Amino acid sequence: MLTKNVIVVLDFGSQYTQLISRRIREENVLSLILPFSKNIDEIKKLNPKGIILSGGPTSVYDKNSPQIDKQIFELGVPVLGICYGMQLIAHYFGGKVEPAENREYGKAHIQLIESNILFENVKNKSTVWMSHGDLITKLPEGFTIDSATDNSPVCSISNNDKNIYGLQFHPEVAHTEFGSEIINNFLFKICKCDPDWTSKNFIEDAIKNIREKVKDSNVLLALSGGVDSSVAAILMHQAIGENLICVHVDNGLMRKNESNEVVEMFEKNYDLNVIHIDASSEFVNNLKGISDPEKKRKIIGNTFIEVFEKEAKKHKNVEYLVQGTLYPDVIESASAGTASHKIKTHHNVGGLPEKMNLKLIEPFNELFKDEVREIGELLGLPHDFVYRHPFPGPGLAVRVLGEITEEKLDILKNVDKIFINELKSWNIYYKIWQAFAVLLPVQTVGVMGDARTYESVVALRAVTSSDGMTADWYRFDNEFLEHISNKIIREVSGINRVVYDISSKPPSTIEWE
């Protein structure tokens, strides 16, 4: 562990769990999301300074609702329950939770009743964000009511002797006016955390731990050219120098000309040992006839490992494979036993085969994207490169919906190049978190030059976000949409219709597959 100050967030299925974690990290404290069912001994090993119980979509009185291990309250560390988490606390300590006559969603105004360290510097009657259908109707013994709203007579509770606190509202959501103050109070005044989770400290500790782990072994790194793998390459090179062997695989699923550009950039600007492997035919052939996105991911993950293990045999003493897996990848690939649903398998998490000859090193698997970007800049990577849009591990395989063919890939590569180039030309690119095109398995009737066409549809997607866990669609000017639609249809053979995706995450994901 890179810090002695850890806050464990136990996930009961809330859509805001990742946001809780982000808010904690913004205070330079490490937060780790674990499933509510995590073994208590594994939680003890983390030696957390505090535990947060997240919200969730179920009711504590429902059959098979996720429950809490009573030993959580016997660890001697502060506990904060949020929404469902507070109701669990009340339920466990003998209180009563019942369905509310009026469900409460959206903004409410909090009335502070009792003085509480959790509410220091919080203004009375300030706005809080509610999202619940149940209420505490009987207070558990030893607890006090600290605040109320018009529809929630028990809006927050506390037991100072046991160091247990509960909030019916969501402090992590931006709509809660003094949410940052509440989280800050819990971290520093109640849990007594030190703000030592910084990018500089992470780099120093990561380099030390990597050296201790790798020793004299050689290490292969999957260098895709994306931000995550590139930052990982620079970090690993600082740690182990010439023992790092970067392997760039052209899988045929990258953007137009990107594979050659990536290799050229690293050979010219960085003292890295980069091996370029053209395995595009192998990947595309393995994907023939496959339409299911999960199967695509599995095939791509397996093919990557086959390519890397084949390359590893050409080098002596190779024991490790490095990947730029991020924390959201791990979260979204959540397995059974959690209250959260598995969204999709990420090829560098659940897409890997169960048995590999190489051992994995994932230096960023507890980091969010913006944290990796900050580390990249500290390591000397150019700002413009570090803030490139994310690109999925499976590449264009999950942007060509349905079966993969060379013809479809060529069409999408041409559309994507036009879209990204125009975003840069119009000075929009860096206002957007991620933008890309999706080739749909749909053909529509069109007319060009007085002749009937029956060609493919492409969807454009552009979103704003801070970490990829939630996202909102970008509001382009109509002038740009008209321009880009005309340019794509005019210049890309095989496309006669362009549509724009205006869905946010949630309920949609950013990628279509």
Which residues are catalytically annotated?
83, 170, 172
Secondary structure element (H or E) that encloses residue 319, with its range: strand 318-322
**φ, ψ (nearest 5 deg) of residue 382:** -60, 145
Strand 6-11 and strand 30-35: pairing? parallel
CA distances from 123 to 112, 177, 182 (A): 9, 9, 11
CA nearest neighbour of 236 among 272, 263, 268, 266: 272
Strand 218-222 and strand 79-82: pairing? unpaired
Lookup: tokens for 280: 């595009």
**φ, ψ (nearest 5 deg) of residue 44:** -60, -40
Residue 242 DSSP SS3: helix
For residues 375 and 231, the answer to whether their CB atoms sit within 8 Å is yes
Rounded Cα–Cα distance for residues 295 and 438 (Å): 18
Secondary structure element (H or E) that encloses residue 230, with its range: helix 227-240
Helix axes 199-214, 227-240, angle to 10 degrees: 60
Residue 476 DSSP SS3: coil
Lookup: tokens for 394: 């499976």
